[in-house]
Amino acid sequence: MNARLRRNGFAWLLLLPSLLFLLLFTFYPIALTLRLSLFQADLSTPEPVFTGLDNYRTMFQDEVFRKVMGNNVLFALGTVPLGIALALLMAVFANKALHGRGFMRSAFFYPTLIPMIAVANIWLFIYTPEYGLMSRLLSWFGVNDINWLGTPGLVMWAMILMIIWKEAGFFMIFYLAGLQNISKELYEAAHVDGVGRFTVFRKITFPLLMPTTLFVSIVALTNAYKLVDHLMIMTRGGPNNASNLLLYYIYETAFSYWDQGMASALTVVMIAVLLLIAAVQFFGLDRRIHYN
Amino acid sequence: MRKVNVTVMAAALGMSVLAGCGNNTNTNNNNAAGNGSGTGAGEAAAAPAGNGTKTELTYYYPIAVGGPLTATIEAMTADFMKENPDIVVKPVYTGSYADTAVKTQAGVQSKQPPDVAVLQSTELFSLLDMDAIIPLDEFIAQEGGDTYLSDFYPAFMENSQTEGKTYSIPFQRSTIVLYYNKDKFKAAGLDPEKPPATWAEMQEYAVKLAGDGKWGLEIPVTGYAYWMLQTFALQNGNNLMTPDGKKVMFNTPENVEGLQYWVDLAAKHKAMPGGVTDWSTVPSDFLEGKTAMMYHTTGNLTNVKKNASFDFGVSFLPAQKQYGSPTGGGNFYIFKDIDKKKQEAAWKFVKFMTETERAAQWSIDTGYVAVKKSAYETERMKAYAAEFPAALIARDQLEYASAELSTHNNGRIVKILSDSVQAALTNELTPAEALQKAQNEADQALASFNK
């Protein structure tokens, strides 16, 4: 008993510094946010007034809120599976390529190195109607002028494409590391047995990469809720909220409408969504994954 | 070794700052040096000056147009300190207008506001609701009251005043003007000295100038949809809000007609790109020759002048019932919850920054419209205008200009209107539906201010 206490005490002592920081910079602000979300705290109320769940009620009737939630789901569905698939493909390719392996890897990786703000500016130009790169490319195929960022039905897809381009290289790095961890003997054995390439991928590579896939998909899914820098540069959430996302809406509510109560309520929803994603992945998918 | 280097460098820096100040005949070199080198050695140098306590002002300023304006602002504050040795102004560059508003708000909440700041003129009601600023009437009375104010253009003062009080002084202000490509006018058989003066002419010209993958006219939308709608509203009727900032009039028949005209230019007449066009794309389209005309801020004048490879003209926006444009830009505010002495010093600074000659020079340096009538009577402005007459167009249009949309809960109101305008431009809603929706939402957002 005593020994156990001593051992645990030592562990707690080691954890103390990081716990302290977590408390101070994560849990404490979350608690404050939770509290403020129950108050009306906007420009018409100099002192916050307790209103219970009013902010949440208003939120769920808010058309823009429903729109940004929908957009976020579309954004996640659009960027995560495709981004991961592309990353895996690029990793397998960059791992196999005999000539110019280094070049290939850096070519795939370089979009990750560019800051999001710069990326947004580059793609703003790419999507410019008439003389933007995309327009010129499409005009060869006889497709007439498309205003990618100015058309409600297209703007989300334009964003999704850009984010996949930006993120796939980053995820590829994890897959490359994962591929290098898979024992060569497995492949040799498969080769001796004369197993086809596709079966090798399906039966060996893919299952053994599952831990990487889990990790990457958590990062990708949370990124789908965290990446909003590009909106600042490209559309400001427009046209008519067609490209608006939850985090940007929180920013607008807090720092443009100065409605801190509502911004807190929205933040609580955001935290809940992120926690849910993490929970599903850790407690749901994690059990089915084979760690070697 | 490294330590020694740092010391040597600091000393050298201090020397050079002192040497720099040696040129002027001001008796208070020590003070200027103290500010110039910031901390450490500088403060030690400032202390022995010993002429009582100095008033320190923190001054937040944003930069919203191109060019190396930080240096200009810092030179202006240095000049001020030369004239007022008992005041130290610390200029703090705070990014865009939005960033500056956020930083100011954070300061107000933590009871450490800046002493003086340039913020958008439309922040008036938000700052009043936060109880962050003071009325300037007392100071203005010292300067001669209405006579002092009457030198400022009334169109600029509109955003400064509510319920009989004046809360801010115009500094970097703009309006919207029409830029047009004279070469394209000639090519299309139009008189390059006669830009379109009415809505009907504008439509006719824009259609004539469009075609072959080029547009006749572009009006920026992203971020500024409400501002552009104001041009049509003012030309066809009245402004969008009451001066007390508690009511908006979005859904009037005149505004619906104005928005319909705007929507039709793209959807029906194909003279303008459909959907939503970005604020910064429009000037580059104009410079690239992709559009023959554009609506844009006068703040872009210097940029267009520098980069246009063709002959261009600047004119009033076309009129319907009358000419009209909203104003835009930033004003000086002085903050509450600071020392009375600081507020007085801040007023001295505001007055200095907007003096006639300085207002003229600031206008020439930036492309902003000079905020005072007398600035246009100065020699430097006359010389500049003779060389570049377009600089006077925006000033002349001020006669027909009116306040930028500014209400209580301004951030939300602006967003509501901008969303609706975008919905109309992308054909999701008809102009009448869009403006009705905006009206309903805005009424709701303003309800708590009308109790």
Question: Residue A9's pLDDT band (boundaries 50, 70, 90)?
Answer: confident
Question: Residue B111's pLDDT band (boundaries 50, 70, 90)?
Answer: confident
Cis peptide before A239 (omega within 30 of 0): yes
CA B150 to chain centre: 20
DSSP state of A27: I
User: Is A250 in CB contact (< 8 Å) with chain B?
Assistant: no
pTM summary value: 0.83
Q: Tell me, what CATH number does B394's domain have?
A: 3.40.190.10
Q: Is residue B13 part of a domain?
A: no
Angle between helices A101-113 and A152-181 (to 10 degrees): 130
For the beta carbon of residue B4, count every other beta carbon within 10 angstroms: 8
Q: In CATH, what class is A62-258?
A: mainly alpha
Which residues of B, range 144-173, sit inside 8 Å of A by Cβ? none
B439 and B389 in a single domain? The answer is: no
Chain A residues lying within 8 Å of B273, measured CB to CB: 129, 145, 147, 150
As for how many domains chain B has, the answer is 2
B166 and B203 in a single domain? The answer is: no
Write down the mean pLDDT value for chain B.
Answer: 86
How far apart are alpha carbons B450 and B441 in whole angstroms?
14
Q: Is residue B12 part of a domain?
A: no
ipTM entry? 0.80
User: Is B290 in CB contact (< 8 Å) with chain A?
Assistant: yes
- pLDDT beyond 80 at B28: no
Alpha helix positions (H), chain A: 2-22, 28-36, 54-61, 63-96, 101-113, 116-126, 133-140, 152-181, 184-192, 197-200, 206-208, 210-226, 229-234, 246-255, 260-279
Task: Write out pLDDT tens, residues B369-409.
Answer: 999 999 999 999 999 999 888 888 989 999 999 999 999 99
Among the ranges A39-48, A99-108, A125-134, B186-195, which has the highest mean pLDDT value?
B186-195
CA geometry: angle B233, B236, B241, nearest 5 deg: 35
Q: Is residue B252 part of a domain?
A: yes
Nearest to A44 among B102, B223, B448 (CB): B448
Chain A residues lying within 8 Å of B278, measured CB to CB: 124, 149-150, 234-235
Separation in Å, CA B342 to CA B52, B59, B76, B86, B137: 15, 11, 19, 11, 16
Task: Write out pLDDT tens, residues B269-315.
Answer: 999 998 888 888 899 899 999 999 999 998 888 888 889 999 999 99
The verdict on a CB contact (< 8 Å) between A256 and B98 is yes
The verdict on a CB contact (< 8 Å) between B412 and A259 is yes
CA geometry: angle B133, B137, B143, nearest 5 deg: 125
Rg, chain A, Cα only: 24
Residue B335 main-chain phi, psi, to 5 deg: -95, 155
**Amino acid identity of B207?**
V
The verdict on a CB contact (< 8 Å) between B426 and A42 is no
- pLDDT beyond 90 at B187: yes
Who wins on pLDDT, B22 or B156?
B156
B304 and B355 in a single domain? The answer is: no
Residue B401 main-chain phi, psi, to 5 deg: -85, 165
B346 and B398 in a single domain? The answer is: yes
The verdict on a CB contact (< 8 Å) between B411 and A152 is no
Task: Write out pLDDT tens, residues A231-266.
Answer: 988 888 878 899 999 999 999 999 888 899 999 999
pLDDT value at residue B178: 96
User: Is B221 in CB contact (< 8 Å) with chain A?
Assistant: yes
Q: Which of B35, B44, B40, B47 is nearest to B6 (CA)?
A: B40
How many helices (H) and strands (E) chain B has is answered by 21, 11
Question: Residue B33's pLDDT band (boundaries 50, 70, 90)?
Answer: very low
Rg, chain B, Cα only: 24
- Print the domain residue range for B167: 55-174+328-402
B233 and B156 in a single domain? The answer is: no
pLDDT value at residue B198: 95
* Mean of pLDDT values over A159-187: 90
* Mean of pLDDT values over A193-216: 87
Question: Residue A94's pLDDT band (boundaries 50, 70, 90)?
Answer: confident
pLDDT value at residue B9: 41
How far apart are alpha carbons B7 and A138 in whole angstroms?
61
Q: Find which of B281, B420, B428 to mutate to test the A interface (most A CBs within 10 Å of its CB).
A: B281
B343 and B241 in a single domain? The answer is: no
B419/chain A closest Cα distance in angstroms: 4
Q: Which of B324, B297, B332, B299 is nearest to B160 (CA)?
A: B332
**Amino acid identity of A95?**
N
pLDDT value at residue B31: 38
B170 and B71 in a single domain? The answer is: yes
